[in-house]
Chains A and B, each alone.
Chain A
Amino acid sequence: MIITVTLLILLVLLVLSVPVAAVLIVLGLSIGEIFSDFPLYRVMGEITWSASTDFLLLSIPLFVMLGEILLRAGIAKRTYSALNKWLSWLPGGLLQANVGTSALFAATSGSSVATAATITTVALPQGRRYNYSEKLFAGSIAAGGTLGILIPPSINLIIYGFLTNTSIPRLFLAGIAPGIVLAILFMLCIAGACLINPKLSGDKQSTTWQERFDGLKDLLPVFVIFFVVIGSIYAGLATPTESAALGVLASLGLAFYYKSVSISFFKQVFEGTMRTSSMIMLILVSANFLNFILDSIGLAEMLNSFVMNLGTSPLNTLLVVIALYVVLGFFIETLSLMVITVPIVAPILVNLGYDAIWFGILLILLIEMALITPPVGLNLYVVQGVRRSGSISDVMIGAAPFVFMIAIMIVLMIIFPEIALYFTQFVS
């Protein structure tokens, strides 16, 4: 009964294009009114204040700011041209550089829209110059951009950790290996496709070793940031929020080094940071209040007993959940999808014996898939938007092989959970 009512309110409001944050609150308040004898709405102020001052959540705007600074300091363009020198000998040349740059750069940036748009702007002229097949070229950028939410630091993983009370350092650590494996799968996929059909690739570029070594200094910034942020967490020097702050300081140093800093630079950085992080924070504090209501009326227990009574095996339940995300991912924007479903789905799976960290990584893979599957795959539209020629279906077709690779990765994760979990045993 509760479940039906909840779903109904949720769907109607979402379809009516009510802002997602307001949907969550209207949902919370009406469920509280209908199913609880206590006036739960009265603590709305306290709950929101305490979520707004959560030190962990501070890491979100700081990681967004880190990405904004790097973006506006022109790091993406330097990274791309340097990686191209190192990867151009592989079958698929520039295509490999697309995936590599996306993976490296997105690893330090908060916004997948900004990352994909920047890399498309930088890469596309090169692709056209060397006669690459534009379908696969566009697809590789769209797909590469999704790697950023898997390779730490990842804002999506922080949100998952906040909603499920799991350790962020462990989630970050768990994301590294699957992120690298997936990037390699993408690169193998490109190499394979280009070996079978050389027309997909473009003209060969010759690069001397001298040029390659000269390019190394342009790769340094991304590695420095990654080392500062991730290294400081695992060396036990800093919490995730503190590491984000160190990252902001380090990226500011780089921006000074590249002489990008000015008053308007700061205005743009602050504006970009606030637009993204205010949006995320309004949704998060609202989701937090909804969670409080759902906890109070005991929805999780109801769902758990409901799932137990179904008597399906854990694996079948997991497959149903995956199918659900694939389908919902076609239609719903990914952040909304996460905050709406995670508080309900994660406890059910954990109750069935799945590891919460492992499911977090699996969920991110599903979200990555949602980002490049039509009709609402955000990254597809970003790449197409920058292209401004040809048809969106070119990008969709070009991204399809990578959707398949993510699917393989999901299967690998189910068969070998160690891909994510092996390294997490080293942190407490």
Chain B
Amino acid sequence: MTSFIKKIEKISQVATWCSGLLLFLAAIMIAFEVIMRKAFAYSIGGADELSSYALAISCTWGFSYTLLRKSHIRIDILYSRLPRAGRSFLDIGAHLLLGIYIVTLSYYAFFVVKTSIIKHSAANTPLATPLWIPQGIWFTGLLWFGFTIFIVLAGTIYHRLNNEHDEANRLSGISTLDDEIKETADLGNKTGADT
């Protein structure tokens, strides 16, 4: 189970790097477009359209690593006051509802892609991008997110049934601010310039 989740985490991490790279390239493209437009009155065109797709695609492909690193916001007023056994019930409920949301969204997102394919929809722009391409990649990212939620949910239930509360919590609990600070503080130490 654990090694399987490790694999999913690795794939999600690579997907996150690619998503970040995509946004980075979008930023560079937009920046050059602005500079060219203002300095040389020359427009490459399409930078804003392509980068909008980059946003949609990078989001859905970034969701699952964000989930595995527990960065999707949950309120812990009640949670932090419960014993570990009680927490995993809330974890299961939380991931179940998130899962239902993403399955529902994927279902209707599928119709968006399907309609674009059937109608040969193209963007109403000079590029006339066939919409099913960006929509398809966006949709696959959603599916991967849904799959990740399912695995996290199954893993939590599995650990819960075996009374392995620590493992369950590590998989799906709310991240403590301590973990988060440790990461950033290390970073501040590591990358600060010498004074």
Contacts and interface: CB of A to CB of B under 8 A. Distances in A.
B66 to A, nearest CB: 4
A18 B98 contact: yes
Contact of A21 (B29, B98, B100, B111): B98
A238 interface: yes
Contacts of B28: 245, 248-249
Contact of B191 (A22, A23, A74): A74
B117 interface: no
A270 B24 contact: yes
Contact of A17 (B19, B60, B90): B90
B31 interface: yes
Given A45-B110, A74-B193, A237-B34, A118 B177 contact: no
A246 B53 CA distance: 19
Given A41-B108, A49-B138, A245-B28, A258 B193 contact: yes
Most A C-beta atoms less than 10 A away, residue of B55, B78, B104? B55
A134 B108 CA distance: 54
Interface in A98-131: 113-114, 117-118, 120-122
A251 B74 CA distance: 32
A26 B101 contact: yes
Contacts of A54: 52, 55
Contacts of A351: none
Given A45-B111, A245-B28, A335 B74 contact: no
A81 interface: yes
Interface stretch (B2-10, B157-165, B180-188): B180-188
Contact of A121 (B76, B174, B177, B189): B189
Interface residues of A, number: 87
Contacts of A23: 97
A127 to B, nearest CB: 14
Contacts of B29: 245
A63 B167 CA distance: 35
Given A17-B75, A45-B111, A260-B191, A248 B93 contact: no
Contact of A49 (B31, B63, B112): B112
Contacts of A52: 55-56, 59-60, 138
A78 interface: yes
B58 A22 contact: no
Nearest to B195: A81
A273 B109 CA distance: 25
A78 B193 contact: yes
B69 interface: yes
Contacts of A274: 16, 19-20, 23, 58, 62, 65-66
B41 interface: no
Contact of A22 (B97, B109, B138, B188): B97
Q: Which 7 A-B pairs have the closest CB atoms?
A: A270-B20, A45-B108, A77-B192, A385-B181, A121-B188, A278-B62, A52-B56
Interface of B: 13, 16-17, 19-21, 23-24, 26-31, 33-35, 38, 48, 51-56, 58-60, 62-63, 65-66, 69, 71-79, 90-91, 93-94, 97-98, 100-101, 104-105, 107-112, 134-135, 138, 174, 177-178, 180-182, 184-185, 187-189, 191-193, 195
15 contacts: A17-B79, A22-B98, A44-B109, A45-B108, A45-B110, A52-B138, A53-B52, A61-B23, A61-B58, A118-B192, A121-B189, A249-B27, A273-B20, A281-B62, A336-B75
Given A72-B191, A114-B184, A279-B72, 11 more contacts: A15-B77, A21-B101, A23-B97, A71-B188, A117-B184, A118-B185, A121-B189, A242-B34, A282-B63, A331-B77, A382-B177
